[in-house]
Amino acid sequence: MNRLASDVECIDSKYDVIVIGSGYGGSIMASRLARAGLKVCLLERGRERHPGEYPNTVLEAAEDVQMNIPELGHEGSRTGMFDLHINKDISVLVGCGLGGTSLINANVAIRAEPRVFGDPRWPKALRDEINNAGGKSMEALYARVEEMLSSRPYPDSYPELPKMAAHKRSAEAMGQPFRRLNINVTFEDGINAAGVPQKACVNCGDCCSGCNYSAKNTVLMNYLPDAKRHGAAIFVEVSVRHVERRDDGTWDVHYQVLDTGREAFNAPTLVVTGKIVVLAAGTLGSTEILLRSKERGLSISDQIGKGFSGNGDMLGFGYNGTPELDGIGFGHRAVGTMPPVGPCITSVIDMRNQADIRDDLIIEEGSIPGALAPILPLMFQVAAATGGTNTAPQHALSQALREADSLLRGPYHGATTHTQTYLVMGHEANTGTMMLKNDQLRIDWPSVGTEPIFQTMNTRLFEATSALEGISVKDPIWSPKIGDKLITVHPLGGCVMADSAESGVVNDAGAVFSSNSGDAVHGGLYVCDGSIIPVSLGANPLLTISALAERCAGIIAQNLGLTIDYSNKGPIPPDPTTRKPGIRFTETMKGYFSRATALDFQAAADLGKKEGSSCKFILTIVSEDVDAMIASPEHAASTIGTVDAPALSARPLTVTHGTFNLFEQDPNAADTRNMKYSMRMVSEEGRSYYFYGFKVIKDRPFWDVWHDSTTLYITIYEGENDKGPAIGKGILIIEPEDFIRQLGTIDATNTRNAEERLATTVKFGRFFAGVLYDYYGGVAAPLHFADSDAAPQKRRPLRAPGPRFYPFKTGDGVDLLLTRYPGGTKGPVMLAHGLGVSSRIFSTDAIETNLLEYLIAHGYDVWLLDFRSSTALPASNTQYTADQVARFDYPAAVAKVREATGAASIQVVAHCYGATTLTMAMLAGLEGVRSAVISQISTHMVTPALVHLKAGLHTPGVLDALGVESLTADATSKEGFFSRLYDRALTLYPVDADERCSSAVCHRISFMYAPLYEHAQLNFATHDRLYELFGAATIHAFEGLAMMIRKGHVVDAKGENVYLPHLDRMAIPICFIHGAENQCFLPESTEKTVEALSAKNGAALYSRHVIPAYGHIDCIFGKNASTDVYPYIVKHLDGT
């Protein structure tokens, strides 16, 4: 289907209607008000994703989770699809993405009982309307929604579903009504009511992790494309913070653009203005926005946040019963290889017939997404053992056998396939309260889990499970031992409808009351989602929320004298546009400007500084097609952001319709290019300004590259373009610390995988560096450089299982990565790289068999660690010490592996800097490592004369004093003059005659460290692609190593001997590997280490192998390392 979201940098400054949120309420409001002819903008904080892009493995699902946790705040990506709000009494799971919770709900379109609307908490106007029409007004609204959502029961023509048949069996045993439910699922290929093509359901059961088959009728499939078709502009990854009323009665919506790096610069909010604002961000989102708006002075009712309801939700399971139910989704398994599961929920035991409506409840069966399948056997076993009640103890033996089958053969066998999932809904007191604490939404509802209805539900679930002869397992968190906690997927209330502000937040049309009493409302401010519902519905709420949204949209249009055209428009034409890999980064520049525009730029900036007229922008620069950007003569990208210029406005101005040109040829000057910034700025007062700035790139000495590439000459005009009068002139610059932050924000967009993401980033970086080389370089002697323009090389597939990624954070806040290759039951073994490289040294495809593949072939569960010196991580661009790696990176990494595997201890293979820091970590008290293989260096250091000379001359310290923050081995064909001269000079660096070559990368490696390998041990592919393996290394790391070389052993960053006194902490089996020809650290280094350790702990724990004809890192990726070196590693690991 067509992509719906527009690029956020294209957002206009003003709209008739701004809808915040894209769930049922938001999508309906956007569709209907756009059909009424209004200019509509919809803002959604999540990402746009389509069928085929939803998670279907545990790892993918875990990466898509975000959590709001008391005391800890927010964890995970702010655009993660599974948005879990953890609270003391009741937690909430909602969806985040274009389509809202409709992306992950169970599709159930059930009408609320008519008696629900008789509750006096509903506004009188709504109750009267329903009563006067004999209920037909709500029925008509329900019918309109059902038509748009294509709601229908599971068809008889489809395969019989065991879980539905079992549910019917439970209903009959309970003597309660059973029926199939209307669900928003498509069962025939075709065009839906909104004109969007959809496919028939494949019965995969993965509705709640996102439908990858285009069969689930989320609002992404109907209301949202209908809104887009009728002119609504949709923007994603936009998080609204608060709304503010302007003096002219319009509304400012303050927002942040997510995942752009703006948070690295503490960027202010951006602003878009609307005549009408509809809050439809969900029960939690809309309430949070209004609470924050109230804190900032918006006058609304004190009832905001009150009346929260979990809709009486409770989960339960009928575990390990007699019938096989096939209640676990396919996940990543192919259609046709699994028995049909069915849509998540298909039927209901409907007990909404009690004398007292508060006793009504329904029980629905469900399926569990296949993405969660691997964790289910153990989870259910523990839950049943600790909180389950066996309804058929006579079947205990067969139950035990099925349980063992699940544990041994997996979730699609035994007990888990005999498990029924229940979702129960009823009526609780809806007396929860939402509030802001430390700017985070929190829910307070003491003892909600002790309400009698939940015990009634548990009793009913026991009855339902009894019919299946299973073990009744209640919601694991609903237990007196932990405070009878609950979780809901149907949050309601917080901005409840009422007759007046004394009892609610909005009126029957969703208009927000403007004070704490009376029925006066704010003109143009509405709420329309589950938050306005004042009672628990006792049934899935999506249909009622949608019906009320249809009603509110109709009232708004009627009040404006507009008519909504509900006619069907036929199929939506396909959009042939395809998304291309793009690039995005955020930068900030600061300086001064003056209104004295007759002055030159420098004089104007100096005057502005004297006057205190500062100017600062934070811009996100976005190219949606990096190839087109590079190929185009204009090299154009778009910009969005803010400009802080107090002389123009007391508050930051919002940038709209901005353009950035990277290295555009200057038509008026020879051999000159410009970086140009052209953008419209809008103040919160509504005034428009135009900003134009340029940087000059021309043929100059290399030392001018920093000044030229970070100095922006700016002119500010009044009005929307440069045709207005110039009112400001000055200069902005990039500070070095801001440039470092900017590097961390560079991100590839619209990419399919990590490799494409990396390739896109590298392509952009090489283009940038290449142009600077052309203008600041000159001619250098011919050397072999990595070809920046070469087509990607064909890669051989690794003989290893698919990687699983485990990002984690150290105790000092650094983001690191573990990559797991589960090759067997041995280990787990963690591999740690050296300095200026990454874990790729263990997995390079340039050799026939790498260490990863060798360990996989021998049955090991392998974990590749990228710690803070890894060239694959942003952290490598920071300054750090070996102590930090030892005391923060290793403990966090070992803990992560142990946590993920459940292993009591792990094994480690560490090379060079990784081996040194592992040694320091163990000497500092690292726990959880039972054995290790240490390559080349450990506690003691003996170096060749030249290496010792560089250390003795304090070379890294001198470079640090000169402002050199890192050294890099990356020498490409687009280097600048200094780099060319540097590379030329390095040809004079002394190496053995048989180690000379023409590779500039190789020369840099030898200078940075020492000759690291014997050329005879490298094949052509490895030597030709050294640039893939080596990168930059921080000067502080070199300084630390130099100090250790001078001392002859490991020391801390201050040079203190804090490690060697604790050799007893290395009393574990360790195998030392050393290349006989190592010219970086002589073999005597590990010889001294073994002598010292043996004297302290006994020689039996240690072995050492000196590898003939090998140097340093060729022991890791030498062409014959798999026969000459790796066997020693595996022998030691197998024995320990």
Residue 863 lies in a domain: yes
Residue 1025 lies in a domain: yes
- C-alpha 834/C-alpha 916 separation (Å) is 9
pLDDT at 980 over 70: no
Predicted local distance difference test score (pLDDT) of residue 740: 82
Residues 703 and 836 in one domain: no
Residues 476 and 607 in one domain: no
What are the tens digits of pLDDT across the range 1026-1042? 888 887 778 788 888 88
Residue 141 lies in a domain: no
What are the tens digits of pLDDT across the range 199-237? 999 999 999 999 999 999 999 999 999 999 999 999 999
Residues forming a β-bridge with 83:
66, 94
- C-alpha 206/C-alpha 369 separation (Å) is 5
Residues 736 and 831 in one domain: no
Residues 717 and 637 in one domain: yes
What are the tens digits of pLDDT across the range 659-675? 999 988 775 554 567 89
Residue 143 lies in a domain: no
Buried b (16+ CB within 10 A) or exposed e, 787-820: ebeeeeeeeeebebeebbebebebeeebebbbbb
pLDDT at 1 over 80: no
Taking residues 494-519, report their average pLDDT: 97
Beta-sheet pairing, 1070-1075 with 1102-1107: parallel
Predicted local distance difference test score (pLDDT) of residue 977: 53
For residues 889 and 857, the answer to whether their CB atoms sit within 8 Å is: no
Residues 589 and 442 in one domain: no
Give the residue from 459, 488, 517 where a domain finishes: 488
Residues 1047 and 904 in one domain: yes
As for how many domains the chain has, the answer is 3
- C-alpha 239/C-alpha 242 separation (Å) is 10
Residues 975 and 1047 in one domain: yes
For residues 1059 and 1052, the answer to whether their CB atoms sit within 8 Å is: yes
- Amino acid of residue 487: I
Residue 415 structural domain: 314-488
Most confidently modeled range among 252-266, 680-694, 967-981: 680-694
Residues 959 and 1104 in one domain: yes
pLDDT at 297 over 70: yes
pLDDT at 793 over 90: no
For residues 1057 and 1049, the answer to whether their CB atoms sit within 8 Å is: yes
Predicted local distance difference test score (pLDDT) of residue 1032: 77
Tokens of 315: 């989960």
Q: Which sign, positive or negative, has the C-alpha torsion 750, 83, 550, 240?
A: negative
Residue 366 lies in a domain: yes
- Residue 145 neighbours by CB distance under 10 Å: 26
Look at 388-397, 537-546, 788-797, 973-982 and tell me which has the smallest mean pLDDT: 973-982
Give the residue from 748, 763, 791 where a domain finishes: 748
Q: How many CA atoms lie within 13 A of 1042 on its CB side?
A: 21
Taking residues 554-573, report their average pLDDT: 92
pLDDT at 898 over 60: yes
Predicted local distance difference test score (pLDDT) of residue 907: 98
For residues 323 and 470, the answer to whether their CB atoms sit within 8 Å is: no
Residue 770 lies in a domain: no
Q: In what helix (H) or strand (E) does residue 953 lie, and over which residues does it extend?
A: none
For residues 642 and 588, the answer to whether their CB atoms sit within 8 Å is: no
Residues 741 and 832 in one domain: no
In this prediction, residue 782 has a pLDDT band, given cuts at 50, 70 and 90, of very low
Q: What is the CATH number of the domain that holds 878?
A: 3.40.50.1820
Residues 726 and 808 in one domain: no
In this prediction, residue 1057 has a pLDDT band, given cuts at 50, 70 and 90, of very high
Taking residues 377-405, report their average pLDDT: 94
Look at 161-170, 474-483, 491-500, 874-883 and tell me which has the smallest mean pLDDT: 474-483
Predicted local distance difference test score (pLDDT) of residue 619: 93
Q: How many CA atoms lie within 13 A of 765 on its CB side?
A: 15
In this prediction, residue 339 has a pLDDT band, given cuts at 50, 70 and 90, of very high
Predicted local distance difference test score (pLDDT) of residue 694: 95
In this prediction, residue 464 has a pLDDT band, given cuts at 50, 70 and 90, of very high
- C-alpha 501/C-alpha 538 separation (Å) is 26
Give the residue from 488, 512, 543 where a domain finishes: 488
- C-alpha 441/C-alpha 291 separation (Å) is 9
Look at 327-331, 766-770, 947-951, 1069-1073 and tell me which has the smallest mean pLDDT: 947-951
- C-alpha 782/C-alpha 971 separation (Å) is 13
Whole-number Cα distances in Å, 464 to 53, 591, 893: 36, 71, 46
pLDDT at 710 over 70: yes
For residues 444 and 88, the answer to whether their CB atoms sit within 8 Å is: yes
Look at 378-387, 473-482, 974-983 and tell me which has the smallest mean pLDDT: 974-983
Predicted local distance difference test score (pLDDT) of residue 967: 55
Across the chain, mean pLDDT equals: 90
1123: Cβ contacts below 8 Å, ≥ 6 apart = none
pLDDT at 435 over 70: yes
Q: In what helix (H) or strand (E) does residue 142 lie, and over which residues does it extend?
A: helix 136-149
Burial grade of 1016 (CB within 10 A; 0-12, 13-18, 19 or more): middle
Chain length of the chain:
1136
Predicted local distance difference test score (pLDDT) of residue 1026: 83
pTM: predicted TM-score of the whole model, two decimal places: 0.70
What are the tens digits of pLDDT across the range 94-124? 999 999 999 999 999 999 999 999 999 999 9
Residues 810 and 744 in one domain: no
User: Percentage of residues in the chain with pLDDT exceeding 70?
Assistant: 91
Residue 853 lies in a domain: yes
Residue 365 lies in a domain: yes
What are the tens digits of pLDDT across the range 672-705? 678 999 999 999 888 999 999 999 887 555 667 7
The helix/strand/coil state of 724 is: coil
Tokens of 979: 């780099």
Look at 315-319, 354-358, 858-862 and tell me which has the smallest mean pLDDT: 354-358
Q: What is the dihedral of CA 1082, 1083, 1084, 1085, to 10 degrees?
A: 70
Tokens of 533: 């519902």
- C-alpha 610/C-alpha 596 separation (Å) is 12
Residues 594 and 708 in one domain: yes
pLDDT at 991 over 80: no
pLDDT at 990 over 70: no
Place of tokens 């020809």: 1077
For residues 761 and 747, the answer to whether their CB atoms sit within 8 Å is: yes
Predicted local distance difference test score (pLDDT) of residue 955: 44
Q: How many CA atoms lie within 13 A of 442 on its CB side?
A: 16
Predicted local distance difference test score (pLDDT) of residue 404: 96
- C-alpha 571/C-alpha 299 separation (Å) is 45
Give ∠ CA 517-519-524 in degrees, rounded to 5: 115
